[in-house]
């Protein structure tokens, strides 16, 4: 089974982190996640992540520190999820693929019904003194 490289943006603003709720009609619909998506052939993780965030949210971001890489096996696919702290250049979001958006303090992230791979990212964030 092929492993897909996926980027995840931990977008921070005013001490909160952006979570997005997956479209209810798609795989894992209704669950919450860090925005991002599949890295295309020929793209670096960073390039793909910036492209995905612009496509999904109309948002330009600056990539900051690398958080972690999570390998997760879903029943139908295996992903290698690369998470980065990101800062938005502007905060006017134009979501195209999500049910809802939420700005959440780090200690409240686990109160959301997250996709399984993203739970591991939250544990990495909670280990950090500051993000």
Residues 20-40: tens digit of each pLDDT:
999 888 878 899 999 999 999
State how far the Cα of 23 lies from the Cα of 99, in Å rounded to an integer: 5
pLDDT above 70 for 131:
no
Q: What is the mean pLDDT of residues 34-49?
A: 96
Quick one: pLDDT at residue 76?
83
pLDDT above 80 for 67:
yes
Quick one: pLDDT at residue 28?
83
Map out the domains of the chain with their CATH numbers.
3-127 (3.90.79.10)
State how far the Cα of 40 lies from the Cα of 20, in Å rounded to an integer: 21
- In this structure, the number of other CB atoms found within 10 A of the CB of residue 109 comes to 22
């Amino acid at each position: 089974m092929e492993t897909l490289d996926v980027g995840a943006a931990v977008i921070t603003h005013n001490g909160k982190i952006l979570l997005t709720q997956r479209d209810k009609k798609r795989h894992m619909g209704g669950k919450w996640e860090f925005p991002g998506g599949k890295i295309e052939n020929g793209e670096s993780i960073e390039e793909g992540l910036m492209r995905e965030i612009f496509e999904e949210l109309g948002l330009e971001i600056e990539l900051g520190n690398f958080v972690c890489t999570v390998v997760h096996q879903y029943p139908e696919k295996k992903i290698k999820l690369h998470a980065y702290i990101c800062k938005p250049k502007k905060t006017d979001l134009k979501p195209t693929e999500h049910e809802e958006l939420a700005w959440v303090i780090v200690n409240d992230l686990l109160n959301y019904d997250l996709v399984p791979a993203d739970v591991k990212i939250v544990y990495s964030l909670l280990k950090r003194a500051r993000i």
